[in-house]
Amino acid sequence: MKENIFPAIRLTIVCLLFFSGVYTVIMLGIAQLAPNKGKGEVLVDNGKTYYTNIGQQFTDDKYFYSRPSAVDYNASGAGGSNKGASNPEYLAEVQARIDTFLVHNPDVNKADIPSDLVTASGGGLDPHISVQAANIQVKRIAKIRHIAEGNIQQLILSNTEKPLFGLLGTERINVLKLNMALDKLK
């Protein structure tokens, strides 16, 4: 037992020093090379500060809806739901989101609603929606804002983020940036 205890204590101390010190400093150094020094992208609009890497809640019909949040958009406690896809509570929650979406978008068929508009992401704070999720909301927004659908489609195209290096991930749209651009559209 004495043969094993001292190497285990030494390994614990080495890991503690490495992961709480060296690794942290390396990650901080890498973050300094990123835009905004790793603090995320910050936008200021009408004197109010927004972080584009954190999901924001948009429920007004004149805006594009954001992805639902399992943590009620509380950035201090990110996390998803632990309920399985067959859990009755989870299914009722998703059905309620579908019903609410259909009330606000009566021209949409239930089968056409993208999953990212009715299911929360794993982290609960996803700031993006799919291009399909944005396109399905165009009629509602155009009607309320009295803007041509083509203008809103063009806005979606100009705010679409392509996959990293053209192959990692999918096309997506930051809802905050899209809604800010929508407000500036006349």
Both 129 and 169 in one domain: the answer is: yes
What average pLDDT score do residues 150-157 get? 95
186 has a pLDDT exceeding 80? no
163 has a pLDDT exceeding 80? yes
Both 79 and 165 in one domain: the answer is: yes
- Expressed as residue numbers, the domain containing 63 is 40-184
Both 143 and 93 in one domain: the answer is: yes
pLDDT for 98 equals: 95
What total of structural domains would you count in the chain?
Answer: 2
102 has a pLDDT exceeding 90? yes
142 has a pLDDT exceeding 80? yes
Quick: pLDDT tens for 58-90. Answer: 889 999 999 998 887 877 777 777 788 888 998
Both 25 and 55 in one domain: the answer is: no
Both 88 and 3 in one domain: the answer is: no
Contact predicate 65/117, CB 8 Å: yes
Q: Model's pTM, two decimal places?
A: 0.78
What average pLDDT score do residues 21-25 get? 90
Residue with the bigger pLDDT between 174 and 38: it is 174
